[in-house]
Chain A
């Protein structure tokens, strides 16, 4: 009898079709961004024409810059807060208000963005805060810190507790045990959490639409208003750039997590 393979023809076909479905639209988009023709549907040869036009579009560049700043700022704050929250939840045992705390952290993960956006806007209006960079950053931090918390918490949960005990046995107090043993071991998850927060922020349209003010549109807001008017080759170009940026970020993240965790279990990028 030949070696039994668990993979049936059906398995292979569904995998191939599934992945094709996931990637084909993006690939087509990227290819058409290099189209020389003004008509988005007619192939007129390779060209960088739309990238050049893109760089002359001040509004688009400003929106992209705004999005990048918001993404970096909110991802960084969210990573700190989310990691703290994960530590409290996975190492704090029972404490007063824990249920409320974990509820508040899980709810935004599944809550419709329209609700999160609306509620934050109402807060900012009531506080009479000037809407712009900071309000969007705060809004994105609120959403993304929950994702960071989940990613880091699952890593903390799978960490062998006897490592922390060994550190204490060898003379660490709880804080130094955390800093010298736990933190280096969860670092890949923290990096992954930052990345996730960064891309979520870069991606968000709904919450940003609610919480931003006039004159400070983010990139998705800008793209959205253009897309509503129809397909433009310039949009293909900016989308390709964003995809490229995210691809670079993912590669860096996976390299970082490989470097910092030579041990078997590496953190998945989710």
Chain B
């Protein structure tokens, strides 16, 4: 996975940016509620969460547009929480790009360099370098309204990189682009970040975007940072039911702890009968539990599968709904025990010999290791 490769690169870095117990209130509303986080030098870090979770406010505090009510923001061991935006070696790429409409592409990119008092010749060199970096050669004299959406995005990127900030903040940088362009731009951004070795902090509500690009993801909900993990860990080992449901699709069965069998737990669920699940790493208090399982880990077959490992969780049911998505098909299986389970099956053959039809009797099965035990 991309994230794994990036993590190696990031692991060598020291914590560059340290956010320590940061709180921000807007009137009676607590937008950011005691967030602490270390971001390493050279890391590509994503802040992910639903709208209104406080991720943008946190980013704006890093940029200096808002000051925290309490807590510290350390950049290379220096507290910058109260520093003004123009006093920080941090630059931001705005969601709507915020390109100056009265200035040309060249002047937009040179804007920050002129503020820094750079010599004319040096500015020209740096701007040319930036223009080449984002592949905008020949468009220097254009005004922002003469550019396409993708080109504007590049100008915004070049402008925020021109001052060579220690940290680049990106606020939903790809939200305004259409799907195809977004995907290719994701790749370019990652390449650029690795090539520059710069620290990127990106805010996004798009989990695929975060998973694709980031070395680590911080998930925020209601002002709190609920989990910080590499993409794979976030997906496969979410710390709470909320995260499990927010990141990707998941089947959830609520139930009660019955007994322990070695490293396995036996749980009686309402919808799916008795399930066997691997013991979670962190012990869970209380008897009320949830068993969670990702749809692609639920296999379907016409008859009960052979082999003991797979035989542990077998649920009989009929196909209730079919959703063909191209690369995969999602089946909803109505279980005989009353619940519903979703299974995502890769369409590995062009012909539909393996496909199931509506109302067909099937067995849905999954291993205990694929089950996740979570608090209710």
A touches B (Cβ under 8 A): yes
Residues of A within 8 A of B (CB): 160, 162-163, 165-173, 176, 180-181, 184-185, 260-264
| 8 closest A-B pairs by CB | A171-B115, A170-B112, A263-B101, A166-B98, A162-B98, A168-B85, A184-B102, A171-B86
At the interface with chain A, which of B89-97, B204-212, B355-363?
Answer: B89-97
12 contacts between A and B (CB under 8 A): A163-B98, A163-B101, A166-B92, A166-B100, A168-B84, A169-B63, A170-B111, A170-B112, A173-B84, A181-B102, A260-B102, A263-B143
Please measure, in the bound complex, the distance between the C-alpha atom of A168 and the C-alpha atom of B64, giving whole angstroms.
9
- Chain B residues lying within 8 Å of A262, measured Cβ to Cβ, are 101-102, 143, 145
Please measure, in the bound complex, the distance between the C-alpha atom of A169 and the C-alpha atom of B91, giving whole angstroms.
6
Partner of B101, one of A165, A173, A185: A185
**A261, B102: Cβ atoms closer than 8 Å:** yes
Please measure, in the bound complex, the distance between the C-alpha atom of A181 and the C-alpha atom of B143, giving whole angstroms.
14
Q: What is the size, in residues, of chain B's interface with A at 8 Å between Cβ atoms?
A: 27
- From 70 to 100 in chain B, residues with beta carbon under 8 angstroms from any chain A beta carbon are 84-86, 90-92, 94-96, 98-100
- Chain A residues lying within 8 Å of B96, measured Cβ to Cβ, are 160, 162
Partner of B116, one of A166, A168, A171: A171
Name A183's closest neighbour in chain B (CB-CB): B102
**B84, A170: Cβ atoms closer than 8 Å:** no
Please measure, in the bound complex, the distance between the C-alpha atom of A172 and the C-alpha atom of B159, giving whole angstroms.
14
Chain A interface main SS type: helix
Question: Chain B's nearest CB lies how many Å from the CB of A172?
Answer: 6
The answer to whether B332 has its CB under 8 Å from any CB of chain A is no
The answer to whether B65 has its CB under 8 Å from any CB of chain A is yes
Given A170-B163, A263-B143, are A162 and B115 neighbors across the interface (CB < 8 Å)?
no
Given A162-B98, A163-B100, A184-B102, are A168 and B143 neighbors across the interface (CB < 8 Å)?
no
- From 95 to 125 in chain B, residues with beta carbon under 8 angstroms from any chain A beta carbon are 95-96, 98-102, 111-112, 115-116
- Chain B residues lying within 8 Å of A173, measured Cβ to Cβ, are 84, 86
**B91, A170: Cβ atoms closer than 8 Å:** yes
**B102, A185: Cβ atoms closer than 8 Å:** yes
**B98, A160: Cβ atoms closer than 8 Å:** yes
Question: Chain B's nearest CB lies how many Å from the CB of A110?
Answer: 34
**A169, B85: Cβ atoms closer than 8 Å:** yes
- Chain A residues lying within 8 Å of B98, measured Cβ to Cβ, are 160, 162-163, 165-166
Question: Chain A's nearest CB lies how many Å from the CB of B54?
Answer: 18
Question: Chain B's nearest CB lies how many Å from the CB of A182?
Answer: 10
- Chain A residues lying within 8 Å of B116, measured Cβ to Cβ, are 171
Residues of B within 8 A of A (CB): 63-65, 84-86, 90-92, 94-96, 98-102, 111-112, 115-116, 143-145, 159-160, 163
Please measure, in the bound complex, the distance between the C-alpha atom of A33 and the C-alpha atom of B144, giving whole angstroms.
49
- Chain A residues lying within 8 Å of B145, measured Cβ to Cβ, are 262-264
- Chain B residues lying within 8 Å of A185, measured Cβ to Cβ, are 100-102
Please measure, in the bound complex, the distance between the C-alpha atom of A260 and the C-alpha atom of B101, giving whole angstroms.
10
Please measure, in the bound complex, the distance between the C-alpha atom of A176 and the C-alpha atom of B111, giving whole angstroms.
12
Question: Chain A's nearest CB lies how many Å from the CB of B369?
Answer: 47
Given A176-B115, A262-B143, are A171 and B94 neighbors across the interface (CB < 8 Å)?
no
Given A185-B102, A261-B102, A262-B143, are A167 and B111 neighbors across the interface (CB < 8 Å)?
yes
Name B165's closest neighbour in chain A (CB-CB): A169
- Chain B residues lying within 8 Å of A166, measured Cβ to Cβ, are 92, 94, 98-100, 159
- Chain B residues lying within 8 Å of A264, measured Cβ to Cβ, are 145
**A169, B100: Cβ atoms closer than 8 Å:** no
Name B115's closest neighbour in chain A (CB-CB): A171
Please measure, in the bound complex, the distance between the C-alpha atom of A39 and the C-alpha atom of B144, giving whole angstroms.
60
In this complex, the member of A169, A171, A180 whose beta carbon has the largest number of chain B beta carbons within 10 angstroms is A169
Name B60's closest neighbour in chain A (CB-CB): A165
Please measure, in the bound complex, the distance between the C-alpha atom of A263 and the C-alpha atom of B101, giving whole angstroms.
6
Given A160-B96, A162-B96, A262-B145, are A169 and B102 neighbors across the interface (CB < 8 Å)?
no
Question: Chain B's nearest CB lies how many Å from the CB of A133?
Answer: 37
- Chain B residues lying within 8 Å of A163, measured Cβ to Cβ, are 98, 100-101
- Chain A residues lying within 8 Å of B92, measured Cβ to Cβ, are 165-166, 169
- Chain A residues lying within 8 Å of B63, measured Cβ to Cβ, are 165, 169
**B86, A172: Cβ atoms closer than 8 Å:** yes
- Chain B residues lying within 8 Å of A263, measured Cβ to Cβ, are 101-102, 143-145
Please measure, in the bound complex, the distance between the C-alpha atom of A160 and the C-alpha atom of B143, giving whole angstroms.
17
**B65, A165: Cβ atoms closer than 8 Å:** yes
**B101, A169: Cβ atoms closer than 8 Å:** no
Question: Chain B's nearest CB lies how many Å from the CB of A125?
Answer: 48
Name B63's closest neighbour in chain A (CB-CB): A169
Given A171-B112, A181-B100, A264-B145, are A165 and B86 neighbors across the interface (CB < 8 Å)?
no
In this complex, the member of A170, A171, A181 whose beta carbon has the largest number of chain B beta carbons within 10 angstroms is A170
- Chain B residues lying within 8 Å of A261, measured Cβ to Cβ, are 101-102
Please measure, in the bound complex, the distance between the C-alpha atom of A22 and the C-alpha atom of B95, giving whole angstroms.
46
Please measure, in the bound complex, the distance between the C-alpha atom of A167 and the C-alpha atom of B99, giving whole angstroms.
10
Please measure, in the bound complex, the distance between the C-alpha atom of A184 and the C-alpha atom of B96, giving whole angstroms.
20
- Chain A residues lying within 8 Å of B160, measured Cβ to Cβ, are 169-170
Please measure, in the bound complex, the distance between the C-alpha atom of A16 and the C-alpha atom of B4, giving whole angstroms.
70
Please measure, in the bound complex, the distance between the C-alpha atom of A190 and the C-alpha atom of B28, giving whole angstroms.
38
Partner of A170, one of B65, B144, B159: B159
